[in-house]
C-alpha cells in the first residue's frame, strides 16, 4: 500500500476519493488528527497520480482558494522538470570527445571527492553515459520522485532526493578512495526509493499489525535495488549507498514530520535545492 496524499481536509479527501473511484482505482482513507490521507495499492500509484493530476489541472480555478491545487500541480510536474534538466545536460555534454572532458571535470571521482571537491557529489548526478542510461533514470526520477513529492510536498521532496544522491556519492567516494568515477542520477533515484521505503516502514510500524507488514516496504526497496541496480554505466555500490541515505532520510522525516510542509516551506526547500546545484556548478567551473 502507498500513501498517496497527506494533510487533506475532509472536503478534499471526499473530492479526491470520488475522482479515484470514478477511475476504478481502489483506495483507503486514514485520519490523523483533523487531516486525512489517501492510500492506494502500490501497483495503482502511478495511475492514481496521473488521474489526480489531470483532475487538478482541469479544476485549478475551482480549488485555488484551498491552496491544494497549485501544490498538487507543482508536485506532479516537478518530476517532468527534473527530467528536462537531465536531457538538457545530456545534450550539452554529448559532444564526442568533449564528453570525456565533462566527466573529468564534473564526474564523481572518488579520489577528488575525498580530497575536498565535494561539489562533484551533486554535478555527477546530471551526467549519463548514453541515451539508454539517461532514459532509465528519467523514468525512475519521474516515477519515484513524484511519489516522494506526493508524501512530502514538491519542495521538501526534491531537497531530500538531492541530499540522498549527494550522500550516496560521498559515501561511495570514501568507500573506493581512489581509482573510481561514477555518473548518473540513479544514485538519487535509489535515494528516492529509500525515502519511500523508510517512510512506509515507519508508517506501517505505527499500526497494530505492523509485524506482518512493516518490513514489506524495505523488502520491496531492496528488490528494486537488486533488479534495477545493475548494468552498463551503473554503480551498484553508489546505488546501495544512495538507497541507504534515502532510507535514513525517509525514517527521519516520518519521525519528525507527520504531514507535508506548508507552501512557504516548500518554496524554501526548492530554493535550497536549486541553490545547492547552482553553487556546485559554480565551484566546478570556478
pLDDT in tens, 45-65: 878 878 887 777 666 544 443
**pLDDT given at position 127:** 85
What pLDDT was estimated at residue 179? 84
Q: Which contiguous run of DSSP H or E holds residue 181?
A: strand 181-182
Tell me, what's the pLDDT at 68?
A: 44
Q: Kindly give the interhelix angle for 154-176 and 236-256, rounded to the nearest 10 degrees.
A: 140
User: Which residues are 29's β-sheet partners?
Assistant: 38
Does the pLDDT of residue 148 top 60, yes or no? yes
Give every CB contact of residue 37 below 8 A, 6+ residues apart in sequence. Answer: 3, 4, 5, 6, 7, 8, 13, 29, 30, 31
Domains delineated in the chain = 1-66 (3.30.70.1530), 74-285 (1.20.1540.10)
The residue whose grid cell reads 581509482 is 179
Contact status, residue 161 vs residue 242, Cβ threshold 8 Å: no
pLDDT digits (tens, 9 = 90+) for 239-272: 899 999 999 999 999 888 867 778 888 899 999 9
Mean pLDDT, range 178-197, rounded to an integer: 90
pLDDT tens per residue across span 60-81: 544 443 444 445 555 557 788 8
pLDDT of residue 1: 67
Residue 159 to residue 226: CA distance in whole angstroms: 25
Please check whether residue 158 is in contact with residue 269, taking contact to mean a CB–CB distance below 8 angstroms.
yes
Mark out the alpha helices in 94-179 (DSSP H runs).
Answer: 98-106, 110-114, 120-123, 131-152, 154-176
Q: Are the CB atoms for 53 and 76 separated by under 8 Å?
A: yes
Q: Are 178 and 110 in contact (CB under 8 A)?
A: yes
Closest to 56 (Cα-Cα) out of 41, 46, 67: 67
List the grid coordinates of 231.
Answer: 548494468
Give residue 144's pLDDT band: very low, low, confident or very high (50, 70, 90).
confident
Q: What is the dihedral of CA 171, 174, 177, 182, to 10 degrees?
A: 20
pTM: 0.72
- Could you tell me the end-to-end alpha-carbon distance of the chain, in angstroms, rounded to an integer? 47
Please state, as a whole number, how many other Cβ atoms lie within 10 Å of the Cβ of residue 203.
Answer: 24
Q: Write down the pLDDT at residue 28.
A: 85
Amino acid at each position: 500500500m502507498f500513501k498517496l496524499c497527506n494533510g487533506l481536509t475532509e472536503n478534499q479527501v471526499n473530492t479526491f476519493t470520488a475522482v479515484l473511484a470514478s477511475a476504478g482505482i481502489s483506495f483507503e482513507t486514514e485520519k490523523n488528527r483533523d487531516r486525512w490521507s489517501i492510500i492506494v495499492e502500490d501497483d495503482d500509484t502511478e495511475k492514481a497520480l496521473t488521474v489526480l493530476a489531470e483532475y487538478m489541472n482541469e479544476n485549478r480555478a475551482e480549488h485555488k482558494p484551498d491552496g491544494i491545487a497549485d501544490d498538487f500541480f507543482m508536485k506532479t510536474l516537478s518530476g517532468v522538470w527534473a527530467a528536462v534538466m537531465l536531457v538538457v545536460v545530456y545534450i550539452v555534454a554529448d559532444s564526442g570527445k568533449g564528453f570525456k572532458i565533462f566527466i573529468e571535470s564534473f564526474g564523481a571521482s572518488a579520489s577528488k571527492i575525498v580530497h575536498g571537491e565535494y561539489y562533484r557529489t551533486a554535478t555527477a548526478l546530471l551526467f549519463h553515459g548514453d541515451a539508454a542510461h539517461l532514459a532509465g533514470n528519467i523514468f525512475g526520477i519521474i516515477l519515484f520522485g513524484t511519489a516522494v513529492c506526493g508524501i512530502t510536498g514538491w519542495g521538501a521532496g526534491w531537497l531530500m532526493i538531492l541530499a540522498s544522491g549527494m550522500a550516496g556519492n560521498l559515501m561511495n567516494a570514501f568507500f573506493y578512495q581512489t581509482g573510481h568515477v561514477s555518473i548518473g542520477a540513479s544514485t538519487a533515484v535509489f535515494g528516492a526509493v529509500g525515502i519511500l521505503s523508510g517512510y512506509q516502514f515507519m508508517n506501517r510500524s505505527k499500526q497494530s499489525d505492523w509485524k506482518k507488514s512493516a518490513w514489506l516496504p524495505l523488502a520491496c526497496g531492496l528488490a528494486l535495488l537488486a533488479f534495477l541496480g545493475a548494468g552498463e554505466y551503473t554503480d551498484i555500490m553508489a546505488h546501495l549507498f544512495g538507497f541507504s541515505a534515502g532510507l535514513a532520510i525517509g525514517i527521519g522525516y516520518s519521525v519528525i514530520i507527520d504531514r507535508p510542509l506548508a507552501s512557504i516551506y516548500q518554496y524554501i526547500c526548492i530554493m535550497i535545492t536549486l541553490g545547492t546545484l547552482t553553487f556546485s556548478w559554480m565551484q566546478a567551473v570556478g
